[in-house]
Chain A
C-alpha cells in the first residue's frame, strides 16, 4: 500500500531528525501531562463530592436552626427548632424518621491530664438509624439514658485515639466542660463529614442531658436529620418541611427563613461553588498548555519544511503528488504528537500520583487516555496541516534548485 510506504518515509524522518523529534515530543509531553493531571484531579474532586453525598446520605435532609449562615451547623444560641416542629415534620408524607439532636462545636474534653476538643452531639436512640451509624464496640445511647438524663457517652474514634491512644476507653470517665461522662461505647468509623470535617472527632451524649446539663436550652433543638423512604422524594419533602417550618415560625412572605435545609443537592452545589474558580483556572491551563505544544510543533515543522525543500523537490520530481507530501508531513506531525501524548499521559499520571500522595483526591481512569488521544490527534492535525500544505505547495523546480 502506497499509504504505508509514505508513512514509513515519515517514520524514517522522525527517527533521523532526533533533536527535532525530541523537542516536539517534549513540548507535547508537557501539554498532555498537564491536561492529564488536571483531568485526574477534577475527576478525583468529583469522586469526593459523590463520596461526601454518600456519607451525607442520598435519602437524608438536614434541618439547621438559624438561617443565613451558609456552612456548617448554626451556633447553639440561635437554636429555634421546637418539639412541635419535629412532630409536624414526622407527619409529612414520605418521611421515614426524624432524629433531632443538639450540637456543640469544639467542646473541651479532658481525661486525666489529657485534653482535646471535639464536637459534642446530644442524640436520641434514633440517631443510629438516621445516620446508619451505631456503636462498633459497647453500647449506644438508649431511650432510658434519655429519660434518666444519664451522664453516659459514645466516643468517636479520633477523639478516643486522642485521649486513650490504643487503650480501651469503655468504662472510663471523661470530663466534657466540667461534667463527668462515662464512656459506654465506641462509634463506628465514618471518615469525612458532609462539610469536609473529621466525622470521627465527636462524642455523643443523651439528648436530654445535653439540653439541660451541658447547653442549658431545654426548649429548643439545634438540628434534626430527616430520612425519607426513597432518594427521589428528597426534593418534594424538603419543600414541605420548609413550608411547615415557615408556618410554625410565623414568618411573613418577605422574611427570610430562620432555619436552613440541607439536601444532597445543596451539598453538591456548596462544594462545587467553592472549587469553581480553581477548576476553571485549571481547565484553562489544561487547554492552553497543549496549545502551546501545538505552536512549538508548528514552528519546528515549518523549519523542517524549509530545511528539507530540496528533499521535497526531489520527491516531487520522482513522482510524489501534492497529497503525498501533505500526508508525509502530516503523518510526521501525528507520529510526534502521539508519542508525546503517550508519554504525556504516563508522566501526567505519575504527577497525579504525587498529588494523591500529598492528600489530593485523584482518579485514574480511561478518560485521560481518551482526552490525550483526542487532543494529540487534534494538535497534530491542526498545527501540522499548515506546514504540510506549505511543503506540498512548493514549486518542484525551485525546491530542487535549493542549495
Chain B
C-alpha cells in the first residue's frame, strides 16, 4: 500500500545544503502495524512529513495505494490527506476554544461529502476512545491523554487508509501512553493500517514490525510479532 523507493530529502538554506533523508526505501502493506524507530534529529519528522504528503521528496518515488505522489498537484495531495490519511501528532494539535466534537469533525469540513450522520459518527468514535461524556469539553479542559484520544477520533472520522502517528506518546505520562498504545493495538486488530514514528524503543517494539532509521537511511527492519 505504501512504497518508499530511494526517497531523499534535502533542505537548502543559503549556501548550505543539508541532506536529511539519503535514500530511504521500505514498504508497508495494508493492515500492518509498523513502527519507524529513529533517534531524535535523524530525519524522523521529515520522513513523516513526506509520508503524510505534507512535503515532497527531493528525489525517489513514493507510491500510495498505487498513486505516484510525486506527480500529484497540491489540491490532489490535500485530497489524499483528507480521505486517506489520519494524523496523530505528538502535540495533539487540537483547535483551542473548539469543542471535542467539532475537533473530531474538522476533516469533514473539507470533504466533498458531509455525511448526514456525521455528528453521530463522531460521537461514536469519541465513545470508542472513552470520551462520550466529554463531547462538549474544550481541549484545555481535558488531560493530555484525553486530548490525544480526541486526536485519534479525529484521525478516524474519514475512515482513512492509514493512520500516521508522530511520537503519539511523547507528551504523555506512562499510564496515558499505555492507554494510547492499547487504542492503536485495538485499531490494528480491527484491520487498520498504522504507522507510528518514534524514538522510544519500548513504543516501537509494540508494533508488528519495526523499521530502524540511521543517518537518513534504513538501518534494519525487524519483524516483532
Q: Is the CB of A314 within 8 A of B93?
A: yes
Complex Cα gap A310–B92 (Å):
11
CB distance from B116 to the nearest CB of A (A): 14
Instruction: Collect the chain B residues with CB atoms within 8 Å of residue A5's CB.
Output: 108-109, 114
Q: Is the CB of A400 within 8 A of B97?
A: no
Instruction: Collect the chain A residues with CB atoms within 8 Å of residue B87's CB.
Output: 317-318
Complex Cα gap A318–B89 (Å):
12
CB-CB under 8 A for A316 and B55, given A321-B110, A324-B110:
no
Complex Cα gap A53–B110 (Å):
62
Q: Is the CB of B52 within 8 A of A318?
A: no
Q: Is the CB of A400 within 8 A of B110?
A: no
Q: Is the CB of A319 within 8 A of B54?
A: no
Question: Can you list, as one digit per residue, whether each of A375-401 has a CB less than 8 Å from chain B (1) or not (0)?
Answer: 000000000000000000001110011
- Mark out the residues of chain B between 57 and 115 whose CB falls within 8 Å of any chain A CB in the assembled complex: 74-75, 78-79, 81-83, 87, 89, 93, 95, 97-98, 106-112, 114
- For the residues of A in contact with B, the DSSP-based class is helix
B199 CB-CB contact with A under 8 Å: no
CB-CB under 8 A for A311 and B95, given A317-B52, A321-B75, A400-B89:
yes
A396 to chain B: closest residue by CB: B54
Instruction: Collect the chain B residues with CB atoms within 8 Å of residue A9's CB.
Output: 109
Interface size of B by CB at 8 A reads: 28
B98 to chain A: closest residue by CB: A12
Question: Can you list, as one digit per residue, whether each of B152-177 has a CB less than 8 Å from chain A (1) or not (0)?
Answer: 00100010000000000000000000
Interface size of A by CB at 8 A reads: 24
A285 CB-CB contact with B under 8 Å: no
Instruction: Collect the chain B residues with CB atoms within 8 Å of residue A50's CB.
Output: none
A219 CB-CB contact with B under 8 Å: no
B5 CB-CB contact with A under 8 Å: no
Instruction: Collect the chain A residues with CB atoms within 8 Å of residue B106's CB.
Output: 314-315, 318
Instruction: Collect the chain A residues with CB atoms within 8 Å of residue B97's CB.
Output: 16
B78 to chain A: closest residue by CB: A321
A2: contacting residue among B74, B75, B110, B154, CB under 8 A: B110
6 shortest interchain CB distances as A-B pairs: A319-B82, A319-B110, A318-B107, A397-B54, A397-B49, A321-B78
30 contacts between A and B (CB under 8 A): A2-B109, A5-B114, A6-B109, A12-B98, A16-B97, A310-B93, A314-B95, A314-B106, A315-B106, A317-B54, A317-B93, A318-B81, A318-B154, A319-B78, A319-B79, A319-B81, A319-B107, A319-B110, A319-B111, A320-B82, A320-B109, A320-B110, A321-B78, A321-B79, A321-B110, A323-B75, A396-B54, A397-B49, A397-B54, A401-B45
The chain A residues found within 8 Å of chain B, CB to CB, are 2, 5-6, 9, 12, 16, 310-311, 314-324, 395-397, 400-401
